């Protein structure tokens, strides 16, 4: 395997990982900002108040995007990894 093929495969893998992680990270960021603003406005400094909404939002987003993430991985492996293994 040449360096060009290696770096192209690595680039595609990183793009696939970013596209799968982006909705989860965006949801955690938005919920964190909303909860942080709520805590600043009400002076409530409860630690579980930041953890539970983020965990719930992340679980909901993972559940909603599970099919898209699976399809992204299958497409990446079928289009890039398996042909490399087969020697194509």
Domain ranges in the chain?
3-86
Answering whether pTM is above 0.85, one says: no
pLDDT tens per residue, range 19-34: 999 999 999 999 999 9
Transcribe 7-61 into DSSP letters: HHHHHHHHHHHHHHHHHHHHHHHHHHHHHHHHHHHHT---HHHHHHHHHHHHHHH
pLDDT tens per residue, range 2-11: 899 999 999 9
Please report which confidence band the pLDDT of residue 56 belongs to, taking 50, 70 and 90 as the band edges: very high
Average pLDDT of the chain is: 92
Q: Which residues contact 45 (CB under 8 A, 6 or more apart)?
A: 39
């Amino acid at each position: 395997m040449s360096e060009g093929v290696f770096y192209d495969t690595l680039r595609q893998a990183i793009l696939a990982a970013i596209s799968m992680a982006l909705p989860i990270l965006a949801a955690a960021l938005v919920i964190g900002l909303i909860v942080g603003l709520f805590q600043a406005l009400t002076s409530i400094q409860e630690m579980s108040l930041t953890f539970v909404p983020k965990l719930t939002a992340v679980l909901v987003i993972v559940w909603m995007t599970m099919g898209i993430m699976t399809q992204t991985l299958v497409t990446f492996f079928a289009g890039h990894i398996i042909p490399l293994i087969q020697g194509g």
